A and B are shown apart, each in its own frame.
Chain A
Amino acid sequence: MSLFHVPRRLNRHVTRRAVLGAGTALALTLSLTMGIAGDAQAQTPPGVLIVGQIAEPKALDPAAVTAVNDFRILMNVYDGLVRYKDGTLEVEPALATAWEISEDGTEYTFNLREGVTFHDGTPFNAEAVKFNFERMLNEDHPYHNTGPFPLAFFFSSVDSVEVVDDLTVKFTLNAPYAPFLSNLAYPTGLIVSPAAVEQYGAEFGRNPSGTGPFKFAEWRSNEAVVIEANPDYWDGAPELQAVVFRPITDANTRTAEMLAGGIDLMVEVPPVALSEFQSDAYQVYEQAGPHVWFLILNTKEGPFADVRVRQAANYAVNKEALVNEVLEGTADVAAGPTPPAFAWAYNDELSPYPYDPEKAKSLLAEAGAEGAELTFYVTEGGSGMLDPIAMGTAIQADLEAVGFDVKIETYEWNTFLGEVNPGLEGKADMAEMAWMTNDPDTLPFLALRTEAWPEAGGFNSGYYSNPKVDELLEAARVATDQGERAALYKEMQAIVQEDAPWVFVANWKQNAVTSDKVEGFALQPSFFLLLDDVVKN
């Protein structure tokens, strides 16, 4: 009986007046909320740049992370021994002022910049460089347990790092490896403060210290990472007082924040949203990068074992329509396996396969492959994949127009990788794929050589094999002269284009939008976000 007592008493008090009162209170709260809403939309302070990022960063330890999203912060907090020259993918001095490469290409000796200190006040020197690379590469190093270091294999050719004197450091490689310098310019090669690693251990990723133009200030999980100007930066103090990186995963919400003034700079603008920013209040930036979007063709079995059918597919796909209509002009048509952003290694005599359905039909007739049935793997998303479902559907229509019979199978990204990376044999005839790399060596070496077939541990999921291409790529990797490497890569591109192991589709142009208060911003072909020269009024 006593149990029933409680609700009855409660109920006696739930009168209409009480309910009305509660409703009024709610209405009041809402109007109060709206009254002060003006404050909530206050503009961000001058000198502070708010950047809309695509995700929460994993860590601010350059050796431990792999995502472009994290690199965008890291490149402003740290320096590497070398960096990419503004607007190019060619290396120039950074923390190293000069270097020498031995005759046989296995010894790199770097002279280090004098008088540079980490944000924690400790000096940058040869010992610090040695610490950084041994931490990543040497499993017995006392701080190797602050990993794992998923991209350490970028430096797997390093045999030893020697301190010659305080400002000279020597790397010895186990074999000549030409991409070594551009790998040093990659975020994995950024130099962290050994003292900070010793102090924070596995927590270093949340307490970073480097030598870069900005120093770490604060990390509020799921809200913001704040970095502040480093007034003592060796390359000149930055103009901004601080940068705030806000993770906003949904692209539509990111667009809305940009339109509402909640952020000053937005990266990865969805193609369909670009038209929103065509006024004087915004500036849109575009920059082609080292990205290529292609279709892997199964050259081992089925219709694509015949080179004529592979070429027919290249003629059949209307790449212009894909980049202009599906991608709204956010990409260029790709001609071959190497993106034009690698200006020094790109063969600009190649022109893309033209859109020529008649030619495709006659090649198919010649090969006797009319009506060939194709299984086409399409992903739902994924890094660098742009708009994969819409693109896959458009490609399917183009291929069916010339007489293929295409069946699409769609997978979530990680599942897709699990299907494609082990090879297409017995499963599919073609699959979408995209790569972003930092050196012209990486993609063809990992995805076009005979020794890069899946069973050998590579990404050549379509089993392309041409001994001449293998030979050229091996030679380019050990040549230390850039001109010589360039010639080898150019020859490789011409052969691969003719052999058509892929359908070459698009090179993505990275985009960004800033408000009219932001000046001095430029996107880099590396896709890194460099903010030391940016001004916000």
Chain B
Amino acid sequence: MTGYILKRLLSAIPVLFGITVIVFLIMALIPGDPATAILGSYATPENVEKLNRDLGLDKPLVQQYFIWLSNMVQGDFGTSFALNRPVIDEVLERFNGTLVLAGTAFVLCSVFGVVAGVISAANQYGLADKAITFVVLLGISIPSFFLGMMMILFFAVNLRWFPVSGMWPIYGDRTLPVLLTHLAMPAFALAVVATGVVARLSRSAMLEVLRQDFIRTARAKGVHERGVIWRHALKAAMVSIIPVLGIQAGFVLSGAVYIEIVFQWPGVGRMLVDAILKRDILLVQGGVVFVAACYVLFNIMVDVAQSLLDPRIKT
């Protein structure tokens, strides 16, 4: 197993290298440059040239790339033009925000999605199945940013149950309950679509398992129906549910961008959008490489978890 994990980690290196090349090229090729973005109305060719020199952007591209790469390998991601602080500080701080938000949404969608899927499958075409299917389809069909805005309007502006935006209050202690009041709406809005997807796919995975012989055997030898569903069937179905959860983890991470913008959540997605609009090259590059590394790592973790669950997957 250790050898398998090591092999997977080593195979991630060329992937990450490719990502650095691609993100660097994209930022170099898109029109508009940081100097123009900073100078705005005053971006005369003369001013732009001087500022590019001051920012170190007048060197040949290949040279810029290798300076960036060698600094990054040594842990120096550079300084953001637009925020005037080290890229790594900003990325880590923002990633923490995204982890809290996406992590909560992921837990919500995993627990509620799987439970709803199992209940649906166990009562196929019954009342519970129809009710759950209806709610799930409704959830899948609402864009998360729209749901977020409606929640703000209703729960924050009209009822004033929750704060509108941000992760922490301006004044007061930073305790867990305070965080939860800020987290409740964005995490819910983010989890809704993913919960629907998990519920649908858990349902079909369960139905497939429930048709198999060993379930009939279990029932025949008198296992309680509850035990059949939650112990025998769900365990077998988890093998196909886990990869779905892995995909949903990626989905909540990327879906977090909209939610972060709507709820002004200090996360990495909103940071990247702002950075791209401001042509904050180093922040975009550093942020993308960091997020990509996390994705790669997460995928490895999902594969490992799957091979632990299903011995047929060769390690």
Q: Which residues of A contact B115 (CB under 8 A)?
A: 19, 23
Nearest neighbor of A45 in chain B, beta-carbon distance: B171
Q: Which residues of B contact A153 (CB under 8 A)?
A: 42, 47
Known interface pairs A153-B47, A221-B90, A253-B152. Does A148 touch B264 (Cβ–Cβ under 8 Å)? no
- Is B93 in contact with A222, judged by CB distance below 8 angstroms? yes
Nearest neighbor of A13 in chain B, beta-carbon distance: B231
Q: Which residues of A contact B89 (CB under 8 A)?
A: 221
| Most A Cβ at <10 Å: residue of B46, B161, B168 | B161
* Alpha-carbon gap, A34 to B160, bound state (A): 10
- Is B30 in contact with A415, judged by CB distance below 8 angstroms? yes
Q: Which of A481-534 contact B (CB under 8 A)?
A: none
- Is A222 in contact with B279, judged by CB distance below 8 angstroms? no
Q: Which residues of A contact B93 (CB under 8 A)?
A: 221-222
Chain B 153-165 interface mask (CB, 8 Å, partner A; 1/0)? 1001100111111
Which of B172, B177, B235, B307 meets A32, CB within 8 Å?
A: B177
Q: Which residues of B contact A421 (CB under 8 A)?
A: 36, 43
Nearest Cβ on chain B to A156's Cβ, whole angstroms: 10
| Partner-binding segment picked from A50-58, A329-337, A349-357 | A50-58
Q: Which residues of A contact B84 (CB under 8 A)?
A: 58-59, 64, 205-206
Which of B39, B46, B274, B307 meets A249, CB within 8 Å?
A: B274
* Alpha-carbon gap, A341 to B111, bound state (A): 60
Which of B38, B82, B164, B234 meets A11, CB within 8 Å?
A: B234
* Alpha-carbon gap, A514 to B169, bound state (A): 20
Q: Which residues of A contact B169 (CB under 8 A)?
A: 40
Q: Which residues of B contact A29 (CB under 8 A)?
A: 180
Q: Is B261 an interface residue (CB 8 A)?
A: yes
Q: Is B226 an interface residue (CB 8 A)?
A: yes
Known interface pairs A30-B184, A150-B42, A205-B84. Does A3 touch B54 (Cβ–Cβ under 8 Å)? no
Q: Which residues of B contact A16 (CB under 8 A)?
A: 226, 230
Q: Which of A190-241 contact B (CB under 8 A)?
A: 205-206, 221-224
- Is A260 in contact with B83, judged by CB distance below 8 angstroms? no
Nearest neighbor of B45 in chain A, beta-carbon distance: A457
- Is B266 in contact with A223, judged by CB distance below 8 angstroms? yes
- Is A435 in contact with B235, judged by CB distance below 8 angstroms? no
Nearest Cβ on chain B to A437's Cβ, whole angstroms: 8
- Categorize the interface residue count of chain B: 35 or more
* Alpha-carbon gap, A34 to B159, bound state (A): 11
* Alpha-carbon gap, A252 to B264, bound state (A): 11
- Is B168 in contact with A223, judged by CB distance below 8 angstroms? yes
Q: Which of A141-170 contact B (CB under 8 A)?
A: 147-148, 150-151, 153
Nearest neighbor of B40 in chain A, beta-carbon distance: A383
Nearest Cβ on chain B to A182's Cβ, whole angstroms: 15
Nearest Cβ on chain B to A65's Cβ, whole angstroms: 9
Q: Which residues of B contact A66 (CB under 8 A)?
A: 38-40, 42
* Alpha-carbon gap, A447 to B79, bound state (A): 34
Q: Which residues of A contact B184 (CB under 8 A)?
A: 30, 33-34
- Is A37 in contact with B161, judged by CB distance below 8 angstroms? yes
Q: Which residues of B contact A58 (CB under 8 A)?
A: 82-84
Known interface pairs A56-B83, A59-B84, A256-B156. Does A150 touch B47 (Cβ–Cβ under 8 Å)? yes
Q: Which residues of A contact B308 (CB under 8 A)?
A: 3-4, 6-7
Tally the A-B contacts, defined by beta carbons under 8 Å.
Answer: 192
Nearest Cβ on chain A to B55's Cβ, whole angstroms: 7
Q: Which residues of B contact A59 (CB under 8 A)?
A: 84
* Alpha-carbon gap, A150 to B157, bound state (A): 41
Q: Is B200 an interface residue (CB 8 A)?
A: no
Q: Which residues of B contact A223 (CB under 8 A)?
A: 166-168, 170, 266
Chain A 381-411 interface mask (CB, 8 Å, partner B; 1/0)? 0011000000000000000000000000000
Q: Which residues of A contact B42 (CB under 8 A)?
A: 66, 150-151, 153
Which of B36, B46, B94 meets A417, CB within 8 Å?
A: B36
- Is A8 in contact with B235, judged by CB distance below 8 angstroms? yes
Chain A 252-291 interface mask (CB, 8 Å, partner B; 1/0)? 1100110111100000000000000000000000000000
Q: Which residues of B contact A83 (CB under 8 A)?
A: none
Q: Is A324 an interface residue (CB 8 A)?
A: no
Known interface pairs A418-B31, A458-B44. Does A224 touch B156 (Cβ–Cβ under 8 Å)? no
Q: Which of B174-207 contact A (CB under 8 A)?
A: 177-178, 180-182, 184
Nearest Cβ on chain B to A204's Cβ, whole angstroms: 10
Nearest neighbor of A452 in chain B, beta-carbon distance: B44
Nearest neighbor of A16 in chain B, beta-carbon distance: B230
Q: Is B311 an interface residue (CB 8 A)?
A: yes
Q: Is B37 an interface residue (CB 8 A)?
A: yes
* Alpha-carbon gap, A108 to B108, bound state (A): 67
Q: Which residues of B contact A39 (CB under 8 A)?
A: 172, 178
- Is A14 in contact with B230, judged by CB distance below 8 angstroms? yes
Chain A 20-54 interface mask (CB, 8 Å, partner B; 1/0)? 00110010011011101101111011000010000
* Alpha-carbon gap, A39 to B180, bound state (A): 12
Q: Is B67 an interface residue (CB 8 A)?
A: no
Q: Which residues of A contact B152 (CB under 8 A)?
A: 253, 256
Q: Is A413 an interface residue (CB 8 A)?
A: yes
Q: Is A244 an interface residue (CB 8 A)?
A: yes
Q: Which residues of B contact A412 (CB under 8 A)?
A: 32, 277
- Is A457 in contact with B46, judged by CB distance below 8 angstroms? yes
Nearest Cβ on chain B to A252's Cβ, whole angstroms: 6
* Alpha-carbon gap, A37 to B185, bound state (A): 12
Nearest Cβ on chain A to B180's Cβ, whole angstroms: 4
Which of B161, B263, B274 meets A34, CB within 8 Å?
A: B161
Q: Is B6 an interface residue (CB 8 A)?
A: no
* Alpha-carbon gap, A3 to B54, bound state (A): 57
Q: Which residues of A contact B141 (CB under 8 A)?
A: none
Q: Which residues of B contact A26 (CB under 8 A)?
A: 108, 111
Q: Which residues of A contact B181 (CB under 8 A)?
A: 33, 36-37, 40
Q: Which residues of B contact A259 (CB under 8 A)?
A: 157
| Most B Cβ at <10 Å: residue of A4, A206, A246, A256 | A256
- Is A250 in contact with B264, judged by CB distance below 8 angstroms? yes
Q: Is A248 an interface residue (CB 8 A)?
A: yes
Q: Is B41 an interface residue (CB 8 A)?
A: yes
* Alpha-carbon gap, A150 to B51, bound state (A): 6
Q: Which residues of B contact A466 (CB under 8 A)?
A: none
Q: Is B1 an interface residue (CB 8 A)?
A: yes
Nearest neighbor of B152 in chain A, beta-carbon distance: A256
Chain B 92-117 interface mask (CB, 8 Å, partner A; 1/0)? 01100000000000001001100100
Lowest 6 CB-CB distances: which A-B pairs, in order?
A: A414-B32, A148-B54, A222-B266, A415-B31, A40-B181, A59-B84
7 extra A-B contacts, CB within 8 A, seeds A34-B162, A222-B94, A262-B165 = A23-B115, A34-B184, A58-B84, A150-B38, A222-B266, A260-B164, A417-B43
